[in-house]
Amino acid sequence: MSKMSVIDVKNVNFIYGKKTPYEVHALQNISLSIKENCVTGIIGHTGSGKSTLIQMFNGITKPDSGSIFVDGVDIWEKPKEISKIRFKVGMVMQYPEYQLFADTVWDDIAYGPKNMGIPEDEIKERVETAAAFCGIDSEIMTKSPFDLSGGQKRRVALAGIMAMRPSVLVLDEPAAGLDPRGRREILGGICKYQKESGTAVVIVSHSMEDMAKYCDELFVLAKGKLILQGNCKEVFSEGELLRSAGLDVPEIYGVVRAMRHKGVDISKYIYTVNGAVDAIAELLEGGVR
Amino acid sequence: MALDITLGQYYGTGSVIHKLDPRAKLLFVLFFIVSIFVAKDIYAFGLLAIVVILSLIVSKVPIRLVLKGLKPLVFIIIFTSVLNIFLSRGEELLFTKEIIPGFWTVNLYKEGLINAGLLAMRIIILLMGTSVYFSYATTPIELTDGLERGLGFLKKIKVPVHEFAMMMTIALRFIPTLVDETSKIMNAQKARGADFSSGGLIKRAKALIPIIIPLFVSSFRRAEELATAMECRCYHGGNGRTRMNVLKMKFRDYVFIILSMAMLAGVILVNIYANGFKLM
Ligand SMILES: Nc1ncnc2c1ncn2[C@@H]1O[C@H](COP(=O)(O)OP(=O)(O)O)[C@@H](O)[C@H]1O
Ligand SMILES: [Mg+2]
């Protein structure tokens, strides 16, 4: 069970607008580690510091104090080589469709690998594999990225990072603004990619339902502090704490809580609809009532 | 990397200066600028410095913030002053040296030093004074509103004052948005291994393409959305448009304008006395 960690965050603090009247202490003494070969979720209300935190993973922002280790190496030890970290830790920013720029979808996906100085034939192979993972049809590849739908653009942007084959893939709200089907497809695709490639994946979201479905490990942020961590069971059993952090606990949790309130002997570690159905069926067959 | 723009940032404290009518503030700045160019000696500048310091105290804008806004311009101020030292001619020669014999001699005059000092003072007072009234204590919207109303008489000779004011308002409104977006896109491309700081000129220019194109695309999208939104609200230019906040000059605005005139008169008087009745 004990997995190696790929990213270690140690006592990190970050303040926006230091020494101005608009100071925001966006991260307060955060320590956590991201494990290899699993999907880690970072949840928090809007403004809780999720984006700020993950932008430290690849050195886009530098912590005011504390350190970030990737594969056990402090990334700010040699600030000149920070760009190498960016190939190791792939980052898909929020609304990545706005970063597309090339003439064709193919060229856009190939931009990252080209910057890495990879030979042409390998770039071709990488671009095609990444496109396939993200469900991009081959006839789209020669189109302009600006002619695609919103959901398609999002996938192209995602493929552009996947093609760099980072050892950690970090995604900031990958499903934001998509319809339920789009959410399912993109999150499902990411999880499939994780299973097949074995890379570590970090997903940032404020949707508890999505996180319950796809994540193995969870970290909960509130107002720049890490308030909770553990697997889904451990985290969702803390319904009150989550609610006070401004998060929507999965609705089924409310049902289960109400049942426990009424004296029904049902486990508090239930956070999916299917899980609840099974537990209730068991209770009914057991003839408790 | 955070793009840091302090110049042009409203700092609300609710002070009297914040509450003044923007037209009164525009008039003040007009008088202030004229005063600065009329001012000739240390006494006149002293008077203007007192005006700036008083304004800072009354407006409750922290002086640290204003000084931080000056920081990007320090180089320009020093550069022009130093240039002034060496290019001025005067009577009292302090120092001379032939750098390239028969071709370039550096002469340092007492007057040059004094001029350079005054020039630096002039720039600093100008920047501090105008930024307190124009950016820290007045929102861009109020400012353009004041301009539109103040210059309203030009409409009679068919100058599209309202349209210009609207364009200015929109441009000002979108500056922070664009700065924000530029830094987001830069970060996104850095995450894909873009390198903006190495290589020759051509390589660097090429590296900017992945930033400029998305920026243009989203600016056009934004412009189109804004136009649609304005049309949906039946915007059709200035004719017949009424306002939610109608500017109205109050007693304190007139007092303030009179004080501004007194400042200009004061500077002229100081000039006359100190320079023995020589005007300008
Ligand atoms: N560029 C910035 N300048 C100043 N404050 C910022 C900036 N970016 C974020 N913040 C502030 O930092 C806090 C955390 O923001 P962020 O990390 O974006 O939160 P999240 O991604 O969880 O919504 C918020 O209070 C936000 O207002
Ligand atoms: Mg965010």
Q: Tokens 């401004």 sit at which residue?
A: A246
Token pair listed for A114: 């080209």
Residue A243 CA to chain centroid, in angstroms? 21
* Nearest partner of A271 among A217, A234, A227, A243, judged by Cα: A234
pLDDT of residue A289: 47
Please tell me which of the candidates A21, A58, A116 has its beta carbon nearest to residue B191.
A58
Residues of chain B with pLDDT under 70: 1-8, 275-280
Q: Does residue A17 line the site of ligand 1, with CB under 6 A?
A: yes
Query: Which residue range forms the structural domain that includes residue B125?
Result: 2-273
Smallest Cβ–Cβ distance between B190 and the set A60, A92, A102 belongs to A60
pTM (2 d.p.): 0.76
| Strand B93-100 to B104-109 pairing | antiparallel
Tell me, yes or no, whether B64 lies in a domain: yes
CA count, 13 A, side-chain hemisphere, B167: 5
Number of separate domains in chain B: 1
Say what the pLDDT of residue B2 is: 39
Residue B279 lies in a domain: no
Quick one: pLDDT band at residue A276, thresholds 50, 70, 90? confident
Q: List Cβ neighbours of B139 (8 Å cut-off, separation of 6 or more).
A: B10
Neighbours of A288 (CB within 10 A): 10
Q: Whose CA is nearest to atom 20 of ligand 1?
A: A47
Average pLDDT over residues A55-64: 93
Nearest residue, CB atoms, A86 vs list B2, B193, B218: B193
Counting ligands in written order, the one closest to the CA of A219 is 1
Most ligand 1 atoms within 8 A of CB, residue of A25, A28, A51 to mutate: A51
Cα(B223) to centroid(ligand 1), Å? 26
* Residues B151, A200: Cα–Cα separation, whole Å: 62
Structure tokens at B134: 């124009």
pLDDT of res. A108: 96
Distance from Cα A164 to the centre of ligand 2, integer Å: 23
CA B233, B220, A163, A133: dihedral to nearest 10 degrees? 40
Distance from A32 to chain B by nearest Cα, in Å? Answer: 22
Give the position, in ligand 1's atom list, of the atom nearest the Cα of B180.
1
The pLDDT of residue A211 is above 90: no
Instruction: Please tell me what DSSP assigns to residue B136.
Output: I
Query: Nearest CA to B164 among B150, B148, B180, B182?
Result: B148
- DSSP string over chain A: --PPEEEEEEEEEEEETTTSTT-EEEEEEEEEEEETTSEEEEEE-TTSSHHHHHHHHTTSS--SEEEEEETTEETTSSGGGHHHHHHHEEEE-SSGGGG--SSSHHHHHHHHHHHTT--HHHHHHHHHHHHHHTT--TTGGGS-GGGS-HHHHHHHHHHHHHTT--SEEEEESTTTT--HHHHHHHHHHHHHHHHHH--EEEEEES-HHHHHHH-SEEEEEETTEEEEEEEHHHHHT-HHHHHHTT----HHHHHHHHHHHTT----S---SHHHHHHHHHHHHHHT--
How far apart are the C-alpha atoms of A90 and A86, rounded to whole Å? 6
Residues A152-194 have pLDDT tens digits of 999 999 999 999 999 999 999 999 888 888 888 899 989 999 9
Strand A5-16, strand A24-35: pairing: antiparallel
Looking at the domain assignment, is residue B267 inside a domain? yes
- For residues A11-37, average pLDDT: 90
Q: How far is Cα A113 from Cα A122, in angstroms, rounded to an integer?
A: 9
Distance B174 CA to ligand 1 centre (A): 19
Asked if B191's CB is within 8 angstroms of A93's CB, the reply is: yes
What is chain A's mean pLDDT, rounded? 90
| The predicted structure's pLDDT at residue B280 | 46
Q: Please report the pLDDT score of residue B158 as a whole number.
A: 86
| Predicted confidence (pLDDT) at residue A287 exceeds the cutoff of 80 | no
Residues with CB under 5 A from ligand 2 (ion): A 51
Q: Is A83 at the interface with chain B, CB within 8 A? A: yes
Q: To probe the interface with A, which of B68, B181, B192 has the most A CB atoms within 10 Å?
A: B192
**Is B59 within the bounds of a domain?**
yes
Residue A189, chain B, CB below 8 Å: the answer is no
Neighbours of B72 (CB within 10 A): 12
Interface contact A99-B189, CB threshold 8 A: yes
Average pLDDT of A217-241?
A: 89
pLDDT at B259: 94
Q: Which amino acid is at B125?
A: I
pLDDT in tens, A63-119: 999 999 999 999 999 888 888 899 999 999 999 998 999 999 999 999 999 999 999
Residue B97 domain-assigned? yes
Domain-embedded: residue B278: no
Q: Round to whole Å and give the CA distance between A59 and A89.
A: 9
Does the distance separating the beta carbons of B192 and A115 come in below 8 Å? yes
The answer to whether A98 contacts chain B (CB < 8 Å) is yes
Q: Which candidate from A20, A60, A98 shows the least CB-CB separation from B191?
A: A60
B240 phi and psi, to 5 degrees?
A: 75, 10
Task: Say which residues have a Cβ less than 8 Å from residue A263's Cβ, sequence separation at least 6.
Answer: none
Q: Does B280 reside within a domain?
A: no
A86 touches chain B (CB under 8 A): yes
Instruction: Supply the pLDDT for residue A159.
Output: 95
Q: Are B210 and B184 in contact (CB under 8 A)?
A: no
Please check whether residue B146 lies inside any domain of the structure.
yes
Could you write out the DSSP letters of every residue in A47-71?
TSSHHHHHHHHTTSS--SEEEEEET
